Structure 1
Amino acid sequence: MKIAIVTDWLNSKGGAEKVTQHIAEVYPEADIYTSIYKAENFPAFKNRKVYTSFINKLPFVHKLHFLYLFIMPYAFENMNFDDYDLVINSNWACSKGIITNVDTKHIIYMHNPTRYIWDDCHKYLAQYNVPKFIKFLAKPFLSKLRNWDFVASQRNDGIICNSSAVQKRIKKYYHLDAKVINPAFEDRKIKIKEKKENYYLAGGRLIPYKQFELIVRAFNQNQKNLKIYGKGRLLEKLKKINTNPNTKFLGYVDDQTHQNLLENAKAFLFPQKDDFGIVAAESIQHGCPVIAYKKGGIVDIIKDEQNGIFFDEQNENSLNQAIHKFEKMQFSSKEIAKSSQQFTKQEFQSKIKAYIDKLLDEA
């Protein structure tokens, strides 16, 4: 059986790209197709055949890939999969639009219905400080893109998704039923520590929807110890609005440092509405409780007052109230770590393979 794995782009490594890698490990002979590829960021694919679209040769593509979103539907529709028996699609934007023949099974692992054209459309335009005239021009374009996206979503033989929240969005926007298989963290040797150090932790890509500004402003008020790791275009702005001498910006951290930070933190802060939240799963894997905004895929990970607590409003006061409540509670790091077992890579990969094998057997 000849297999291809397709994904939207591979230029920087985040949660969705990690899922793509985990799927690729199940099918080591599969070829990989994507619009944009930065090889040095994906050593795991060094010995794989990776095919890219013409977009990969365009200027500034790795820094400003979003400028080329309007031609990505064309790029993916023109990829040829006639020689493949099975195509597995790790999708969050336009890759769902590939066209396969009737004998080729096309299975989508959907991280989210295309975020910037559906429920978060207006929020994206606001967060990225888009000029008013571009917003005006974008509206008819986004309307046409929604029509294409809906049609593209129907070109599959089965859909898997990463959380119950995304499952609901897929039903609402695409009128399709999806099977939930939660993503996995990397398997690691971990030291579970009951005695924690006196700091809260946050981190990841420093981009607007992750709500790092909310965290910084909350800690400006409470003056508690905070460590933020990660890189992104918000870093300088976060430093400017910070007035708390106990807030430390760590920049990029390697895997071992990240692991040490999670092992020792009082709690990890997760204030965004996200599709899933693999970093929250990694936190509980390390016995670190999570203080999270109660929206999105996080509800599949955190069980209130067992491995973390929720706050209901996406603002500084609600977060600080949750922190105040958290500091009066006691958590067992060992019990928190036990709650992460459903998110192991072995569990994820066995479920993916079982779903695909069943679909192929029914064909």
Structure 2
Amino acid sequence: MARRRLLARERLAGLHQSDAHFDRRNDRTGRTARRTIVSRQSDDRARVAPRHKRFKLTNVALVHDYLNQRGGAERVFAHIARAWPDAPVYTALYDERAVGDLIAPDRVRVSALARVPFANRCFRALAPFYPRAFERFDLSGFDVVVSSTTAWAKGVRLAPGAIHVCYINTVSRFAFAYDEYVRSPLARPLVNRLAAWDRLAATRPTRFVANSTNVANRIREHYGREADVLHCPVDVDRFTPGNGAGDYFIVVSRLLPYKRLELAIAAAALAGIRLFVAGTGPAERSLRRLARGTTTTMLGFVSDAQLNELLGDARAAIVPGEEDFGLVPLEAAAAGRPTIAYRGGGALETIVEGETGAFFDEPNAESLAAALRNFGAARFNPERLRAHAEKFAPAQFIERLRAIVQRVYREAHRATADVPK
């Protein structure tokens, strides 16, 4: 009987080994913070209410794909977390060193995948296991779930009658950019299965909220669903307007193949201009080889303070690939600097041509090089750039997101809900 109760408890928690074993393992390795994060899931399960309960808009859980790196999606989720400061955060992986100042560890509940050695470092290799990890989160004690995702978090399961508002940063790339995403024929069967799960998971949220009209159109095309549009917020106060005193352009990006950073390196060489590339990612090694002996300097990781200085002193930021939304043009504007971007995707929603930036029309190095040669930074007013960025302030984002959640909640529980003003 004791063994049966232990197995039942493990299944309920979504874990593959007993809590006692996990405690011993963490005592040996010193990873006590992660043990504490996982154990808090039992506290959340205690919030499960009786069958005939009165739903509450304040009983909220937050979900994000993974919090083990620091990028635009993590910064946006930090603002979502500020909208509900008492809500627990469910995520596959968490690295306090990367995002501890954005999301406090005492709010976080991680999946069993957090036990995998070096999981934060090799998290992309865990893709086959994320669907199951998110489906096993026990959210039965919550009336409202707000998720933020590029792939996985939309697939969580809810209690009957609960609502799920999903802020979607992009339609999963293995679903809409199949040929670009799948490089090896051996991976196709796996990606096909993930894409099938992705389509199923897209039926679960009560409402989608897209970060751009560009992404809303993809949601309609690939999932057959409509979405509200709420542009990402930018931390304007992180930046001080500069004067572009440097003689360089800058790319700020995760180093991923679809970002088209090789195009920026080639264009900088063609135009004979200095280029700095700030960021890290799986394509870093190949990009460093490509940049060797050119006018491009690979900076690797830069701190927030360094980024503020680099953007403020740059002639302009460059966005070489098509972005779903893209925070960089707004961060550059907050630092008083314009952006040169490919004419497509989210850049069309964040750049005012001739006022906050310029576009190049063809997705090749020659077109970008021509834009770099013809670029005149002097015609852009730093005060107007800053004012443009302030239109995307976090306070407005939080207010609008809360209003959307409240509206969806009212629609779902019009007859019985007691919704506070």
State if a TM-score over 0.5 links the two structures. Answer: yes
Alignment pair present for 1:259 and 2:308: yes
Amino acid at match of 2:228: K
CA change 1:100–1:305 in 2 (3 A) is: same
Paired residues in the alignment total 354
**SS of residue in 2 equivalent to 1:355:** helix
Distance 1:239 1:107 in 2: 40
1:230 deviates by: 2.0
Alignment pair present for 1:79 and 2:128: no
Is the contact made by 2:239 and 2:331 (CA closer than 8 Å) also made in structure 1? no
1:329 deviates by: 7.0
2:109 paired residue number: 51
Of 195-204 and 66-75, more deviation after overlay is shown by 195-204
CA change 1:235–1:147 in 2 (3 A) is: closer
1:63 deviates by: 1.6
Q: 2:337 aligns with which of 281, 288, 302?
A: 288
Identify unmatched segments of 5+ residues in structure 1: none
Q: How does 1:230-241 map to 2 (within 5 A)?
A: 230-241=279-290
Deviations 1:224-247 (A, max 9, x none): 122222223433433332365643
Deviations 1:251-289 (A, max 9, x none): 222111111111121110001111111122101111211
1:190 deviates by: 4.5
1:207 deviates by: 2.2
CA change 1:189–1:83 in 2 (3 A) is: closer
Amino acid at match of 1:73: P
CA change 1:90–1:190 in 2 (3 A) is: closer
Distance 1:191 1:79 in 2: 41
Distance 1:10 1:245 in 2: 35
1:22 paired residue number: 79
2:98 paired residue number: 41
Is the contact made by 2:92 and 2:133 (CA closer than 8 Å) also made in structure 1? yes
Superposed structure 1 runs of 4+ greater than 4 Å apart: 243-246
Is the contact made by 1:276 and 1:296 (CA closer than 8 Å) also made in structure 2? yes
Is the contact made by 2:144 and 2:164 (CA closer than 8 Å) also made in structure 1? yes
Amino acid at match of 2:241: I
Is the contact made by 1:32 and 1:48 (CA closer than 8 Å) also made in structure 2? no
2:123 paired residue number: 65
1:249 deviates by: 2.6
Is the contact made by 1:26 and 1:349 (CA closer than 8 Å) also made in structure 2? yes
Is the contact made by 2:89 and 2:108 (CA closer than 8 Å) also made in structure 1? yes
Amino acid at match of 2:80: I
Of 238-247 and 346-355, more deviation after overlay is shown by 238-247
CA change 1:328–1:283 in 2 (3 A) is: closer
Larger radius of gyration: 2
Deviations 1:154-205 (A, max 9, x none): 1122110101110000000111110111111114164434563321111222
CA change 1:276–1:189 in 2 (3 A) is: closer
Amino acid at match of 2:265: V
Distance 1:323 1:227 in 2: 14
Identity of aligned residues (%): 29
Q: 1:4 aligns with which of 54, 57, 61?
A: 61
Distance 2:196 2:297 in 1: 45
1:118 paired residue number: 175
1:47 deviates by: 5.1
Alignment pair present for 1:275 and 2:333: no
Is the contact made by 2:157 and 2:204 (CA closer than 8 Å) also made in structure 1? yes
Q: 1:13 aligns with which of 50, 70, 82?
A: 70
**SS of residue in 1 equivalent to 2:255:** coil
Is the contact made by 2:277 and 2:300 (CA closer than 8 Å) also made in structure 1? yes
